[in-house]
Amino acid sequence: MRNIYLLLLLLISAAAYAQGPRVLIVTAHPDDETMFPVTVFKITRELKGSADLALITDASGGYNGLVASSYYGLNLVDSATGRKHLPLIRKKELMASGEVMGIGNFFFLDQLDDYYNRDEKPYLQGKNWDIAYVEKKLDYILANGQYDFIFCLVPHEGQHAHHKTASISAIRAAQRYKGSKKPVVLGGQSQSKSYNFRFAGLAGYPETDVLKTAPVFEFDRSYGFGEDKKHSYMIVADWVKAAHKSQSGDMNQAMHRGDLEVFWYFAVNGEAGLATTKALFEAVNSSGYSKK
């Protein structure tokens, strides 16, 4: 009996050790996750980790589905039609995208996807969104999720106000987290291999400052492998983008573009999270069909 008990303890310990990284993605809109889908895919499918996604807006914006209008039988370039039908359509599309990436849970915070602009202040100040509710929900999600990492979009000056607000809210939620191990927050986006984009932080928001000693972490989703090197992880990104049919204009321009998924390490993480992050991207780059 004692031997059986010891064996069970060993099995439980081994299972806990073998568990892959746990990631929470925080984005403003369905389709924002198309910036780094392969990294998530590799975490869930190859590293045996897990990923959840918190969507801040109600997905009622984004009227650029000209071809999608025929697919859905609705005029998806009309704002009134979009406001009525897009929330359900886009959430279903997000869940289809999430099926590819291996998303386990979706959290919908349903703040108004009002209009495109770059001024994040009315959202963070609670004028355009119920920011207190957003903060409460994110705190609850983090308290129950025991995440190792949070992925959000890079909150640079040229970003949509919704993107910046979602990312800043994610960073602040990690700062408030009272658990024994704070999740590491990374800001990501897709880039071409020739990119010269640099990010040090968003002016006026010191929590977005990047740790100067940290490298920029990358995964090249375009490298070829297999027979005649005709395979690449770019297909995963295309599967995810194709799920967002209502955004046929934006996705048409995005298909099979962006060779790299690039992540910046925020200074609020401190030096302590660097080793964990380096280990994550070493695993991501060496798992599955790695470069030889």
Q: Where are the alpha helices (DSSP H) in the chain?
A: 2-18, 37-41, 66-72, 79-101, 121-124, 131-145, 161-176, 234-242, 248-254, 274-286
Q: What is the pLDDT of residues 40-84, one digit of tens each?
A: 999 999 999 999 999 999 999 999 999 999 999 999 999 999 999
Domain interval for residue 241 = 18-285
Within a domain: residue 53?
Answer: yes
pLDDT reported for residue 18:
58
Within a domain: residue 87?
Answer: yes
Q: What is the pLDDT of residues 231-256, one digit of tens each?
A: 999 999 999 999 999 999 999 999 99
Contact (Cβ atoms closer than 8 angstroms) between residue 85 and residue 71:
no
Query: How does the average pLDDT of the chain come out, rounded?
Result: 93
Q: What is the pLDDT of residues 195-231, one digit of tens each?
A: 999 999 999 999 999 999 999 999 999 999 999 999 9
Contact (Cβ atoms closer than 8 angstroms) between residue 277 and residue 217:
yes
d(CA 219, CA 32): 18
Within a domain: residue 11?
Answer: no
pLDDT reported for residue 11:
35
Within a domain: residue 292?
Answer: no
pLDDT reported for residue 14:
36
pLDDT reported for residue 113:
98
Within a domain: residue 6?
Answer: no
Which helix H or strand E contains 270, and what residues bound it?
none
Instruction: Tell me: pLDDT of 6 over 50.
Output: no
Q: Which amino acid is at 74?
A: L
Q: What is the pLDDT of residues 109-165, one digit of tens each?
A: 999 999 999 999 999 999 999 999 999 999 999 999 999 999 999 999 999 999 999
Q: How many domains does the chain have?
A: 1
Position 19 confidence tier, pLDDT thresholds 50, 70, 90: confident
Within a domain: residue 145?
Answer: yes
DSSP letter assigned to residue 92:
H
Position 15 confidence tier, pLDDT thresholds 50, 70, 90: very low
Q: Which amino acid is at 65?
A: G
Position 292 confidence tier, pLDDT thresholds 50, 70, 90: low
Q: What is the DSSP string of 148-171?
A: SEEEEE---TTS-HHHHHHHHHHH
| Burial classification of residue 224, based on how many CB atoms lie within 10 Å of its CB (0-12 exposed, 13-18 middle, 19 or more buried) | middle
Q: What is the pLDDT of residues 253-271, one digit of tens each?
A: 999 999 999 999 999 999 9
For residue 151, which phi and psi values (nearest 5 degrees)? -105, 130
Q: What is the CATH number of the domain that holds 149?
A: 3.40.50.10320
pLDDT reported for residue 9:
33
pLDDT reported for residue 170:
98
pLDDT reported for residue 212:
96
Within a domain: residue 7?
Answer: no
| Burial classification of residue 29, based on how many CB atoms lie within 10 Å of its CB (0-12 exposed, 13-18 middle, 19 or more buried) | buried
Within a domain: residue 10?
Answer: no
Instruction: Tell me: pLDDT of 16 over 50.
Output: no
Q: For the residues 15-25, what does the mean pLDDT come to? A: 77
